[in-house]
Homo-oligomer: A and B are copies of this chain.
Amino acid sequence: LSALLDDLACALDPAGLITDAAALAGFATDILGRSGVPPLALARPSSAEEVARVVRIAGAHATPIVPVGGRTGFCGGVLMPGGAPALALSLERLRRIRAIDPLGNTITVEAGVPLAAVQEAARNAGRSFPLSHGGEGSSQIGGNLSTCAGGNNAIRYGTAREQALGLEVVLPDGTTWDGLRRLRKNTAGYDLKQLFIGAEGTLGIVTAAVLRLRPGATPETAAVALAAPQAALALLRRLEGEFGEMISTFELMSDGAVAAALTVEGTRLPFATRPPWLALIEIDAPSPRLGVRSVFETVLATVLDEGRAANAVICQSELQRASLWRLREAIAVALVADRSCLKVDTAVPVSAVPDFIAAAGAAVERAIPGCRPVPFGHLGDGNIHFNVRRPEHMGDDRFRAAWPELLRVIEDISLSLGGTISAEHGIGRVKRERLVEALSPVELDLMRRLKAALDPAGLLNPGAVLSSDRG
């Protein structure tokens, strides 16, 4: 151990190595309060070259490495593995924006740049970086890519995967792959960057990325009150007929989710009464000349006339829009604060969302009568978070004890509808056993072969995604 620390101290500047026990203790827990063991040290390299040096040194000492970004993940991917003590490797000092090319619509950033800073740099260049989610203030772009973050506008722009044109990755053997290409088309061999996106740092450490920028857009935002998920899906396809893929957000919130959000300070309902379902819809208008708002108004008026929605309002100001988004984001705030609320991250084919919500609702009521589902999320991409709160008169601890059973019931329904157990939160250390049940042996074997081919010593984030002897 002390030989490892000596080597690291030689390779890094004084700010690059933290061994203080109090500081390391913070790395023993994750954002949801799960706790494990602290790392044996925290490396804070300040460049990709220093990351490579750290990986080589850790390899020479057969020490596992856990790469950490903004530590906003929900699945424990940044917790230390059990078994051999591990080195935490923070990318936070790699925060340069290396280049921006507005004419070519690309930006080249280091892994530690916060997502919100990438968005801002794009805006300052007259462009847009669309990836957006609740953790954007503190999550880092390297983590967003490594977990294939999703968020609110995947319906239009895709997930983190679709934003990446190129990557720079430090491989498990400490060599660096420079794949920082700025190309929209490239068929010169296998597309290696795809391997590292969503691999949660188990195959390599992303140190920089070339990201696609988009033209700026003016969002037109509406709130629509609906009777049922089926009506929301019908409205989505109806709007698609007018606006095609300009629809950039189609969020759906149940009455229970909205009620929870309204307990957060500064929130207000856009209607006089809470509807059974509330949709937040956004259309990214490329320019005001196209008259998107007027068509939006016409379509929503027709939908109301036909009785296909109970109420609708289009935001008339940035203030109104911010208020609607605050309501949407307050759901997550309220439910994270409710420590007994079960968090779920499944996705099904978009057409199966109404069936999923109905079946999951019935199943959790059978399992724990009186429990309160608060489904909300991304109807547009099939990713409804079917969170569940405890029954009014059940204690927190008793309900938490029922989490595994409830979660299994919901995930099984997702799987039976062709869905996934993890839509946008990844696997981390929390779902790796469940992954083994959810995937076919053929698929798991392929994943293990990839891991063995790239990281034969199993030193990169062992026990994340795939269970391992070290994990």
A-side interface residues toward B, CB under 8 Å? 101, 103-106, 147-148, 150, 154-155, 158-159, 161-162, 171, 175-179, 181-192, 194-195, 197-199, 203, 214-215, 217, 233, 237, 240-246, 284, 286-287, 289-292, 295, 298, 347-352, 378, 381-383, 418-427, 431, 435, 438-440, 442-444, 446-447, 449-450, 452-454, 465-466
Q: How far is the CA of A191 from the CA of B148 in the complex (A)?
A: 10
Please tell me if the beta carbons of B162 and A104 are within 8 angstroms of each other in the complex.
Answer: no
- CB neighbours (8 Å) of A465 from chain B are 189-190
> For the complex, what is the distance from the CA of A438 to the CA of B214, rounded to whole Å?
29
Question: Is the Cβ of A186 less than 8 Å from the Cβ of B290?
Answer: no
CB–CB A424/B185 < 8 A: yes
Q: Are A188 and B421 in contact (CB under 8 A)?
A: yes
Q: Which of A155, A190, A447 has the most CB of B within 10 A?
A: A190
Q: Could you say which of B150, B289, B352 contacts A295, with CB atoms under 8 Å apart?
A: B289
Are B349 and A443 interface neighbours, CB within 8 A?
A: no
Chosen A-B contacts, 16 in total, with CB atoms closer than 8 Å, are A104-B349, A104-B382, A161-B191, A177-B446, A185-B381, A187-B423, A187-B424, A189-B427, A189-B444, A192-B446, A195-B450, A242-B290, A243-B287, A244-B246, A287-B295, A449-B453
Closest B residue to A434 by CB, please name it: B188
Q: Is the CB of B291 within 8 A of A290?
A: yes
Asked if residues A287 and B241 are in contact (CB atoms below 8 Å), the reply is yes
B187/A427 in contact, CB under 8 A: yes
One of B103, B181, B290 near A420 (C-beta < 8 A):
B181
* A104 / chain B contacts, CB cutoff of 8 Å: 349-352, 382
Q: Which residue of chain B is the closest to A242 with respect to CB atoms?
A: B287
Whether A148 and B187, one on each chain, are in contact in the complex, defined by CB atoms closer than 8 angstroms, is yes
Please indicate the chain B residues that have their CB under 8 angstroms from the CB of A181 in the complex. Answer: 418, 420
**Which 6 pairs show the lowest CB-CB distances between chains A and B?**
A244-B286, A104-B351, A194-B194, A453-B453, A103-B351, A184-B381
Contact: A185 with B289, CB < 8 Å?
no
Contact B442–A175 (Cβ < 8 Å): yes
Contact of A103 among B171, B185, B246, B350 (CB under 8 A): B350
A175 / chain B contacts, CB cutoff of 8 Å: 442
Contacts of A190 in B (CB 8 A): 195, 198-199, 203, 446-447, 450, 465
**Contact of A237 with B103 at beta-carbon distance under 8 Å, contacts A244-B214, A442-B177 already known:** yes
Partner of A423, one of B186, B298, B349, B442: B186
- Pick from B101, B189, B351: contact of A443, CB under 8 Å: B189
For A189, give its contact among B171, B178, B425, B439 (CB under 8 Å). B439
B243 touches A246 (CB 8 A): no
Q: Is the CB of A188 within 8 A of B427?
A: yes
Is the CB–CB distance between B287 and A290 below 8 Å? no
Q: Identify the closest chain B residue to A166 (Cβ).
A: B418
